[in-house]
Amino acid sequence: MFVLGYDLLNNVVVPAIRLIAACILGGIIGYERENTNRPAGFRTHILVCVGSALVMITSEFLVERFSGVVNLDPQRMGAQVISGIGFLGAGTIIRNRFSVKGLTTAASLWAVSCVGLAIGTGFYEGAILATLLIYITLILLKKFETKVAMKKGKMVIIVKGEDRPGQIGDIGRVFEDHHVSIQNIDILNDDDEDEGKITVRFLVRVPKDINVKRLYDDLSYVKGIDRVLDS
């Protein structure tokens, strides 16, 4: 009875806790990416983190099961995750003329895979601390980057709303009223986007004395606009 209880705890409960923890921590990072319309968002980060955790759980299982039969290195499978996650990160990086986008998302995927490896080995403290640091980096330091970009006269504005004729033109007139020039426009809609909706990212050059809050308010008053976000 004791042996059965130990096997149940060791083979079912502990792996389940680790996989659920990986799902939660990966989802925290993925939510931030999803909220800013990045190529790899909520589900992608969860899958990477859970998959990485499963790799380490499997490594432990193999070592325990075959330790007396063959010589196994539990770190080998984890090392392949760290090097192999690059192909997924590369898919989120987009080069557009002289700009490169998606580097932060690629880095967050790599970091989330490492969080998953930590959870898979039962190193919860390190995984939770790393998740907090990653999240702080993505949220707080993004605001710092925005301020630096504004000092250089550039900022990124994301607009969500109805996909209707003349929508881009109406937004452009608001920018013109605030003496803001549009440098680049990207349509961010994907296959999961609600029908009739559009998400557009504007790279703009702004005057030094611009009132950002008033600009955002005026954009939100445009017919059909649901949300206005920074990058």
SS (H, E, C) the chain: CHHHHHHHHHHHHHHHHHHHHHHHHHHHHHHHHHHCCCCCCHHHHHHHHHHHHHHHHHHHHHHHHHCCCCCCCCHHHHHHHHHHCHHHHHCCCEEECCEEECHHHHHHHHHHHHHHHHHHCCCHHHHHHHHHHHHHHHHHHHHHHHHHHHHCCEEEEEEEEECCCCHHHHHHHHHHHCCCEEEEEEECCCCCCCCCEEEEEEEEECCCCCCHHHHHHHHHCCCCEEEEEEC
pLDDT for 106 beyond 70: yes
Q: Do 161 and 207 share a domain, yes or no?
A: yes
Whether residue 33 is found in the same domain as residue 78: yes
174 and 121 fall within a common domain:
no
The pLDDT score that the predictor gives to residue 2 is 46
Domain final residue pick, 148, 165, 195: 148
The domain in which residue 187 lies consists of: 153-230
Is there a single domain that holds both residue 26 and residue 54? Answer: yes
Q: Residue 100 has which token pair?
A: 């490169």
Domain closes at, from 132, 148, 164: 148
Residues 95 and 18 in one domain: yes
User: Across residues 69-90, what is the average pLDDT?
Assistant: 72
With pLDDT > 90 as the criterion, what percentage of the chain qualifies? Answer: 1
Q: Are residues 212 and 167 in the same domain?
A: yes
Residues 50 and 127 grouped into a single domain: yes
pLDDT over 50 at 156, yes or no: yes
Q: What is the pLDDT of residues 114-146, one digit of tens each?
A: 899 888 888 888 888 999 988 888 877 766 666
Q: Same domain for 84 and 189? A: no
Q: How many domains does the chain have?
A: 2
Same domain (yes/no): 61, 116: yes
- Residues 138 and 165 reside in one and the same domain: no
Is 122 found in the same domain as 157?
Answer: no
The pLDDT of residue 68 is 63
Q: Provide the percentage of residues in the chain whose pLDDT is more than 70.
A: 73
Where b means 16+ CB within 10 Å and e means fewer, 95-126 reads: eeeeeebbebbbbbbbbbbbbbbbbbbbeeee
Question: Does 163 lie in the same domain as 125?
Answer: no
CATH number of the domain within which 220 lies: 3.30.70.260
Does residue 8 carry a pLDDT above 80?
Answer: no
pLDDT value at residue 42: 76
Confirm if 86 and 47 have CB atoms less than 8 A apart.
no
